[in-house]
Chain A
Amino acid sequence: MTRYLLGRFGQALAVLALTFTAAFLLLQVLPGDAIMIKFMAPEMALTPEQIADIRAAYGADLPLWERYLSTVGQFVTGNFGYSIQAGVPVSQLLATNLPSTLLLASLGFVAALILTIILAATSNMTGMGWLRAGLQSLPSLFISVPVFWLGIMLIQLFSFQLGLVSVISPGPVEKLVLPVMTLAIPISAPLAQILMRNIDQVLAQPFVAVARAKGASRNWVLWRHVARNAILPTLTIAGVLFGELLTGAVVTEAVFGLSGLGGLTYQAVGNHDTAVLQAIVVISALAFVVINLIVDLLFPLLDPRLGIKVGATT
């Protein structure tokens, strides 16, 4: 067990280190940098010498490996550097923007899980064939809907047609309803597809027939035998899909005009604000790695076969 844990932690750290390095290299090879964009603008009227001084002050004139090492050192100590464009520490930008995005993403993730379970459960518990067929074809519809279009359609329907959600100065909860839906629907689609297929596979297992032969009803079997077995593979995909959620959050924030990591990323890309981008990439990777680590650690709890004991009967 300890080996399993250590292995998983090691993998997580390796993924983080590789992401950090890849992001750093990619951001460095981009032509131009934030200093050029900000200080070479004609209205600043700075001489080349002055710009060179500024570059030296930021450490931008150092060789690549030295900059890499110093950035690594900074990140390890929790210092994400300085945004050249905004003129404030990156950590300060993150502190204002991260919580709202994190809230949106987590709510979207939870909503996606709930939606998935509702879809799978109702399609399996209904006795009506047409409803079952309808619910089972929903995921393919959801999966093919682009996030930005979905967002606009939801605003159209709920805000303008039905007048259920106010667009002008909504309350803190009201403000999140449509973005969370926009985010959750496309994520829930592949999850629901996988969960439904797994449920069908588990239902065909002999142990389900044994449970029925004990006198268990269909719903008893579904919740007590099928659910846990079918959720296992779905969980893995849920972890992987979390990456999609981060991209989705950026687009959703733009569509709904929410402030957050999305807006920050957009600006930072425009201004080549490498320090900000580096921090965003690392934070996204960290979130992704943590979610998948949680999934990996949940697995042995859900599936006793993974809690390997040495010398167990095979």
Chain B
Amino acid sequence: MSTTPLLEVEDLAISYRTGDRDQRVVHGVSFKVMPGEVVALVGESGSGKTTTAQAVLGLLAGNGKVEGGAIRLNGTDIAHWSQKRLDGIRGAVVSLIPQDPGSSLNPVRTIGAQLAEVLQIHKRGDRKTIQARVIELLERVGLTPAEMRARQYPHELSGGMRQRVLIAIAVALNPALIVADEPTSALDVTVQRRILDLIDELRRENGTAVLLVTHDLGVAADRADRLVVLQGGRIQEQGAVEDVLAAPSSAYTRRLLSDAPSLGKPRPVRVLADNQDFAIDVEGLTHDFPLTGGAAKTFRALDGVSFKVRRGSTHAIVGESGSGKTTAVRSVVGFLKPTAGRILVDGVDLTTLKGEALRRFRKHIQLVYQNPYGSLDPRQTIARIVEEPLLNFESIPAADRARKVRDMLNRVGLSESFLERHPRALSGGQRQRVAIARALVLDPRVLVLDEAVSALDVTVQAQILSLLDELQKTLGLTYLFVSHDLAVVRQISDTVSVMHKGRQVDGGPIETVFGRPDSAYTRELIDAIPGRSMPAIAALASQTDPHARLSP
């Protein structure tokens, strides 16, 4: 390893212009990336990690500006280069693996054309040479048969395959540095692992350095040589991964570490075996969706799924996209009528209810959605949002309603000053608290949490999870917790169903499923949880002691 850094960011300051004033978002950030090294920029939303990475590529949003400092690439300061000059090095010397494979490829051009483009821009050979190289690259990233894949359009590929195309684009010219901006955040955990392995493999082959931007401390711990922890546009600490994880020097890093779900302790085992009172009892749930292009063709989204949830406990449904977990949830809340099977909620068979009876029953089972930004009406005040469910059922005097709304907001940890605000004035975590208050205002017995903490930063996620835990204890709620994140599931649930392609491949008490999984798929899921290289995790993994006192 040579001693001149490949990338040296020094005292970097970046502002965004909003209206007529500049808002500084990156304050004096300095770090180095040596050739062939992986450096992770870790932080939560608003930490300035993505802005810093964009500045390295010279691709700040239109209103962003480098106000001070230097970005030296091989010793040359590129911070104030013109776009035209930067075009010469982008793709060839520095390249990008973007966050969202879904929208990062042009939908109207074939992937072959989009891969060939980077070679055309930098004039690497004639049509035939480029075509041959495209095929070679597609094969290298595991997209076979490459000739066929090259002619496909992005919508014909899965998320993981699209990310492989984007990786092929990033490595095509063998750059010295790859900026990987949350390269796997939008992917399922098993796919995430394979994609990160692929990036690792390719960068080792070519000696490429990687600037890895991530919110996931686990991913950073597994893949990086050094960590740079950012908060509010300032560096909290940086150093070798082992050092930072073993002895974090800043309070913020310590908090990040303790809140990271992959590091957290599983909830204490609660003895529930003698509790035979089931709030939810699902048996043989099967759902077929009709397919277009033939009346008789159907797609089986759910195939004989059964589980029981004891009152006052938390049952998790875990699975990757396409596993059928969303269909299962929509059936349990009565939005979908299953093809076959029985769903007992509080002893009432939901599948036999319809019309007004079904509507009235929804009072007992409420839903909290994934996206706290889309699930609140932006034009309503918080008071109005929380009050609305009350208006749908038996009429309550206005004064009582107002009191109920206030109580509920206090319960989820929001003061009365929030009543007249609008959702846009709230942070993601505050919005999710409002969504929980709205669900609880009807005094339901069952709360369905559909990826309810997936969109939140880890520290906020930890706060919401502890709020949920406290509400469960005081109100005796039963939770059905749907998630793709096994680490979170282990923190909050008592029992779990692991779903894969519409079937339940594993089920039972959490420590049985995590300690001695029945299926190879569950084992794969557990192995794919990032952060296993962290010392704390390793310690936890070794102490999985099968003290399973629960009978499934």
Instruction: Give residues in A with beta carbon < 8 Å to B.
Output: 205-207, 209-218, 220, 224-225, 228-229, 232, 302-305, 309-310, 312-313
Contacts and interface: CB of A to CB of B under 8 A. Distances in A.
B59 A213 contact: yes
A289 B408 CA distance: 57
Interface of B: 57, 59, 83-84, 87-92, 95-96, 98-100, 103-109, 117-118, 121-122, 153, 155-158, 166, 169, 179, 291-293
Interface of A is mostly: helix
B121 A229 contact: no
A303 to B, nearest CB: 6
29 contacts: A206-B103, A206-B104, A209-B96, A209-B98, A209-B104, A210-B96, A210-B98, A210-B166, A211-B106, A213-B90, A213-B91, A213-B95, A213-B96, A214-B95, A215-B87, A215-B88, A215-B121, A216-B117, A216-B121, A217-B83, A225-B109, A232-B108, A303-B107, A304-B108, A304-B153, A305-B107, A305-B153, A310-B293, A313-B156
Contacts of A209: 59, 96, 98, 104
B407 to A, nearest CB: 42
Contacts of A305: 107-108, 153, 155
Contacts of A229: 106-108
Contacts of B292: 310
Given A207-B105, A210-B105, A213-B96, A312 B91 contact: no
A215 B92 contact: yes
A206 B156 contact: no
Nearest to B155: A305
B176 to A, nearest CB: 14
A216 B98 contact: no
Nearest to B322: A314
A214 B91 contact: yes
A225 B106 contact: yes
Contacts of B121: 214-216, 220
Contacts of A218: 83
A26 B157 CA distance: 53
A23 to B, nearest CB: 37
Given A206-B104, A305-B155, 18 more contacts: A207-B107, A209-B104, A210-B98, A210-B166, A210-B169, A213-B90, A214-B95, A214-B118, A215-B87, A215-B90, A215-B121, A217-B84, A218-B83, A225-B106, A228-B108, A228-B109, A303-B107, A304-B153
B91 A206 contact: no
A30 B358 CA distance: 54
A209 B59 CA distance: 7
B60 to A, nearest CB: 11
Contacts of B291: 310
Contacts of A206: 98-100, 103-104
A225 B109 CA distance: 8
B380 to A, nearest CB: 27
Given A215-B90, A216-B87, A302 B108 contact: yes
Given A210-B98, A304-B153, A313-B158, A215 B91 contact: yes
B305 to A, nearest CB: 21
A196 to B, nearest CB: 15
A119 B385 CA distance: 44
Given A313-B156, A313-B157, A313-B158, A214 B105 contact: no
B90 A207 contact: no
Contacts of A211: 106, 117
A212 B90 contact: yes
Contacts of B107: 207, 229, 303-305
Nearest to A208: B106
B175 to A, nearest CB: 10
A263 to B, nearest CB: 44
With most chain A CB atoms within 10 A of its CB, the pick from B108, B118, B293 is B108
Greatest chain B CB density within 10 A among A213, A216, A220, A229 is at A213
B55 to A, nearest CB: 13
A214 B90 contact: yes
Nearest to B101: A206
Nearest to A302: B108
Contacts of B117: 211, 214, 216, 224
B59 A215 contact: no
Nearest to B293: A310
A224 B121 CA distance: 12
Contact of A213 (B57, B83, B84, B122): B57
A302 B153 CA distance: 12
Nearest to A231: B108
A217 B83 CA distance: 8
A161 to B, nearest CB: 41
Contacts of B118: 214-215
Contacts of B105: 207, 210
A146 to B, nearest CB: 37
A207 B155 contact: no
Contacts of B57: 213
B104 A207 contact: yes
A274 to B, nearest CB: 45
A207 B117 CA distance: 13
B189 to A, nearest CB: 20
A228 B92 CA distance: 26
A229 B103 CA distance: 13
Nearest to A305: B155
Most buried by B among A214, A216, A217, A309: A214
B387 to A, nearest CB: 36
Most buried by B among A212, A215, A225: A215
A228 B122 CA distance: 23
Given A214-B117, A214-B121, A205 B103 contact: yes
B459 to A, nearest CB: 26
A263 B307 CA distance: 77
A183 to B, nearest CB: 31
B492 to A, nearest CB: 30
Contacts of B153: 304-305
Given A207-B105, A209-B96, A214 B156 contact: no
Contacts of A210: 96, 98, 104-105, 166, 169
A309 B153 CA distance: 12
Nearest to B115: A214
A221 to B, nearest CB: 10
A305 B153 CA distance: 8
